[in-house]
Amino acid sequence: MADVKRVVLAYSGGLDTSVILKWLQTTYGCEVVTFTADLGQGEELEPARKKAEMLGIKPEHIFIEDVREEFVRDYVFPMFRANALYEGQYLLGTSIARPLIAKKQIEIARKVGGDAVSHGATGKGNDQVRFELSYYALEPEIKIIAPWREWDLRSREQLIAFAESHQIPIAKDKRGEAPFSVDANLLHSSSEGKVLEDPAHEAPEMVYMRTIAPEDAPDKATYITIDFEQGDAVAVDGEALSPASLLTRLNALGKENGIGRLDLVENRFVGMKSRGVYETPGGTILIAAHRGIESITLDRGAAHLKDELMPRYSELIYNGFWFSPEREMLQVLIDKSQELVTGRVRLKLYKGNVTVVGRESPYSLYNQDLVTFEEGAVAYDHRDAAGFIKLNALRLRTLANRDRKVGR
């Protein structure tokens, strides 16, 4: 067991991380520093402070920070510039939050002279990887304590028992086995486990917490506009909003219209398949809008290159490689493409559907003259198409002649 003096723990204030806090104190005999972030998960932070104090953390070792703007501006928005979807569908809501938390823990460790960091992610999931790759990339000699991989608590009962024996208060609704586990932040909430474990069965309605059911959404469509500047959303319905405020607004719009639910079986980096239910109301609107504004402002060559690299970029984020040279290289490529991705998209929101119904931009590459039926003043000569096709066909014709010659 590593010799640890002072550990910075990602602390939510909930039962699990409170047990970890106590376990760190008793097992490692070390000082614990807590970091609690407001990522938009929708919980009060002050109770976490109280609980930390109660568990013996010095006030100057309790760090609580509202990182919502930083989260959306420096993590969510850059990712959305790429239209990132893991396995074609997942908007990476959990994955994108981990690097930020890890970065904050490392910064605090430097400030308080911590020699270790710790998190509450389990030993079978992706989050442990995302946390720890980020820790190591930022502070290569840091010690990492992952209690779920180390301790011998092997069930909910044992966890509760440990809490009880250490005077950790337990909320009534946490006593029993939760029917599924949840992660949430401003971008999304995810649910997995227990009632969701059989992928043959539909997820029960109670799983959803961020969106109302499409069936319960208004019978009339809501129309909105989103303005973009250099690839990032900056206004809704003409009102300029900060990144976090904008995403909050879109979340509300998505929620009301039953938008952003996803029921998915995905492939974890650690090697197994898992089934999750995701709710990303604002993000689902945002990616549609971003594709909409790109469709008129991005050149084909740029757009196709981005599309081909997107799966790789998304995989890097999913696997926890946010702080890696290859993610950063892809990011500069993507950002380069966004310089004139500026304009307004109009969307229709209706019972789970997001539809782009209009796009306009001072930087539009859409040229109405070029596509009209009649040949216009513009420099498009129908006969050019013949040459274009002939030369594109040349290798195929050569091939066909060869194949014929050899009787294929």
Name the binding residues. Answer: 10-18, 37, 90, 95, 120, 122, 126-127, 130, 181, 190, 266, 278
Q: Which amino acid is at 337?
A: S
Q: Per CB under 8 A, which region of 47-55, 67-75, 109-117, 213-221 contacts a copy of itself?
A: 213-221
Span 101-160, contacts to a copy of itself by CB under 8 A? 122-124, 128-129, 132-133, 136-141, 146, 148-149, 154-156
Residue 398 makes CB contacts below 8 A (sequence gap 6+) with none
Give the range of 11-19, 65-73, 246-254, 306-314 binding a copy of itself by CB under 8 A.
306-314
Q: Rounded to whole angstroms, how far apart are CA atoms 155 and 128?
A: 19
Which listed residue (16, 183, 227, 232) is catalytic? 16
Helix (H) or strand (E) holding 91: none
d(CA 335, CA 19): 42
319 C-beta neighbours (distance < 10 Å), count: 19
Query: Is the distance from CB of 285 to CB of 354 less than 8 angstroms?
Result: yes
Residues 226-285 touching a copy of itself, rule: CB under 8 A, are 261, 263-267, 270-275
Q: Which of 113, 179, 199, 238 binds a copy of itself (CB under 8 A)?
A: 199
Angle between helices 127-138 and 300-319 (to 10 degrees): 100
Backbone dihedral angles phi then psi of residue 288, each to the nearest 5 degrees: -65, -45
Q: Which of 201, 209, 238, 239 binds a copy of itself (CB under 8 A)?
A: 201
Q: 307 to each of 84, 93, 264, how far by Cα in Å? A: 9, 20, 22
- Which of the residues 38, 49, 118, 127 is marked catalytic? 127
E strands of 125-200, at which residues? Answer: 143-145, 181-184, 189-192
Radius of gyration from C-alpha coordinates of the chain: 25
Q: Is 181 a catalytic residue?
A: yes
Residue 299 in contact with a copy of itself, rule: CB under 8 A: yes
Of 64-72, 231-239, 248-256, 360-368, the segment contacting a copy of itself by CB under 8 A is 360-368
Q: Which is nearer to a copy of itself, 62 or 217 (CB)?
A: 217
Number of residues that bind a copy of itself (CB under 8 A): 133
CA distance 210 to 255: 6
327 is catalytic: no
Binding-site sequence positions for ATP: 10-18, 37, 120
Q: How far is the CB of 269 from a copy of itself (least distance, A)?
A: 8
Cβ proximity to a copy of itself: between 38 and 139 the closer is 139
- Binding to a copy of itself by residue 203, rule CB under 8 A? yes
For CA atoms 172, 31, 68, 323, the dihedral sign is: negative
Looking only at the bridges linking them, the beta strands covering 116-118 and 189-192 are unpaired
**Binding span for a copy of itself by CB under 8 A among 4-12, 16-24, 36-44, 189-197:** 189-197
Residues labelled catalytic: 16, 98, 127, 181
